[in-house]
Structure 1
Amino acid sequence: MNTTPGPTEWVSREEVGVGPWPGEWPADERYDPELLREGDRRNVVDAYRYWRREAIVSDVDSRRHPFHVAIENFQHDHNIGTVVRTANAFAAAEVHIVGRRRWNRRGAMVTDRYQHLRHHDDVGGLVAFAAGHGLAVVAVDNTPGSQPVETAEIPRDCVLLFGQEGPGLSAEAQEAASLVVSIAQFGTTRSINAGVAAGIVMHAWIRQHADLGRAW
């Protein structure tokens, strides 16, 4: 974890982030001269204020978790941005987009700049990647035979695979999974929003495997 001290002079509530660096600039190549001069308004934690984007990515790479996240994108699912943002928050190894290459980045809140992304034309491509990297495919869907994520043992090295809003996981995705988990529901809706479901299952992985002492 980085403990580099930052400035104590913060901008007004109406603005995001911090203003220009007060006083003498730090002699550290991780810092971006433009940000030091103009201020840093990015959506990053305080420890990364004024850092170059490449330096931030390199630091996160040194402590990323071994789980991957994949979401099917055959109908331009609008939840992908939210999934990417959450994966970034939990330091996922990579996010895999399966299907259409283009996706709505608005929900990512620019976090895709710091998160590794990979595209696969189809589920077969994702499965081949998982097999080549020793990753178990864990599908998330409330189908018969699925195990409750609240009690299931999620493999440490895995790909958490999510379907689209509405149709859910494709049949090919369900067949490729070594484990299918579902989220316990108690109300009337048939399913949970895909972005929300991704956050719940990622956090289940965090609770089972992450070193919480390294969290911000």
Structure 2
Amino acid sequence: MNKIEGRNPVIEAIKAEHEIDSIVIASGAQGSVKKIVAMAKEKGILVKYADKKKLDELAPGENHQGVIAFVSEYGYSELEDVLSKVEKEGRAPFIIILDGITDPHNLGAIIRTADASGADAIVIPKRRSVGITSTVVKSSAGAVEYVPVCRVTNLVNTIKMLKEKGVWIAALDMGGQQLHKSNLKGSIALVVGSEGEGVSRLVKENCDFSVSIPMKGRVSSLNASVAAGVVMYEVLRQRGDSEG
């Protein structure tokens, strides 16, 4: 059984009808906790009360905000299903591929921005990557309930499959063409690498082109989730979806 800590992530999990076994509330908790209790009762979810010390024990080191939900294991999506859905809706797919992101806070932040910028799915590899953990769920502020996350065995094979379906693959790389000069319209997949190593050599070789973020300051790199966010919003801008 997995846990979701924090008020907003638990609210979003209830809204998205995630399978929740029970919710533990800190005795005396106020504010939005009352909304959570009401939503849980409406959905028939068991609500338990415990003192704050007990919640601290259930979620050591986490800022649970007086709310912990026990949920079923996160269900990863199939990329082919996502692509079929997008095709039926008559849209060009926008996919985020993560190569070697191991920090759960980065993954959660990327999922949150992916939801805000209209990305259709996040793709992560089964190896050399963090999966969906309670920290990821909380860092995403509940966005993980709305953005499909697809876990694949081999990124290169996945990129080749996307190419066959007419999707252009762009790697975020310091040596690439400046972002605002690149064509990111249409069917696009953005590949984001780890902060330390960037996009791996074999993955980069299989991308169609590379893009870079203009840097004016003395620090030569950005946090992976911040860099991903900058590019996601450039895709949104070029698509002309910012007003709708």
Do they fold alike, i.e. is TM over 0.5?
Answer: yes
1:191 aligns with 2:214: no
1:98 aligns with 2:139: no
Cα deviation digits, residues 39-61 of structure 1 (max 9, x gap):
xxxxxxxxxxxxxxxxxxxxxx7
Change in CA separation of 1:133 and 1:190 when aligned onto 2, cut-off 3 Å:
same
The answer to whether the 8 A contact 2:178-2:214 is kept is: yes
- Name the CA distance, whole Å, in 2 between partners of 1:149 and 1:117: 25
Which structure shows the higher strand fraction?
2
The answer to whether the 8 A contact 1:64-1:93 is kept is: no
Q: Which residue type is aligned with residue 143 of structure 2?
A: T
Change in CA separation of 1:93 and 1:32 when aligned onto 2, cut-off 3 Å:
farther
Match of 1:72 in 2: 99
How far 1:114 sits from its partner (Å)?
1.0
Q: Secondary structure at the match of 2:123?
A: strand
Q: Secondary structure at the match of 1:71?
A: strand
Q: Any residues of structure 2 matched to 1:1-216 within 5 Å, and which?
A: 15-16=31-32, 19=35, 34=42, 66-73=93-100, 76-78=102-104, 79-100=106-127, 102-103=130-131, 104=133, 105=136, 106-143=138-175, 146-214=176-244
Match of 1:26 in 2: none
Cα deviation digits, residues 110-132 of structure 1 (max 9, x gap):
21111111112232232133124
Change in CA separation of 1:117 and 1:153 when aligned onto 2, cut-off 3 Å:
same
Q: Which residue type is aligned with residue 34 of structure 1?
A: E
Match of 1:38 in 2: none
- Name the CA distance, whole Å, in 2 between partners of 1:213 and 1:16: 30
- Name the CA distance, whole Å, in 2 between partners of 1:212 and 1:137: 22
How far 1:99 sits from its partner (Å)?
4.2
The answer to whether the 8 A contact 1:77-1:165 is kept is: no
Q: Which has the higher contact order (CA 8 A, sep 6+)?
A: 2
Cα deviation digits, residues 124-155 of structure 1 (max 9, x gap):
23213312432111100102xx1000221114
Which structure shows the higher helix fraction?
2
Percent of aligned pairs with the same amino acid: 26
Q: Which residue type is aligned with residue 83 of structure 1?
A: I
Stretches of structure 1 that go unaligned for 5 or more consecutive residues are 1-13, 21-30, 36-60
The answer to whether the 8 A contact 2:170-2:210 is kept is: yes
Q: What is the TM-score when the length of structure 1 is the normalising length?
A: 0.66
Change in CA separation of 1:102 and 1:212 when aligned onto 2, cut-off 3 Å:
closer
Stretches of structure 2 that go unaligned for 5 or more consecutive residues are 1-29, 44-85
- Name the CA distance, whole Å, in 1 between partners of 2:174 and 2:31: 42
The answer to whether the 8 A contact 2:118-2:236 is kept is: no
Q: Secondary structure at the match of 1:150?
A: helix
What is the CA RMSD across the aligned residues, in angstroms?
A: 3.3
Match of 1:6 in 2: none
Change in CA separation of 1:183 and 1:69 when aligned onto 2, cut-off 3 Å:
same
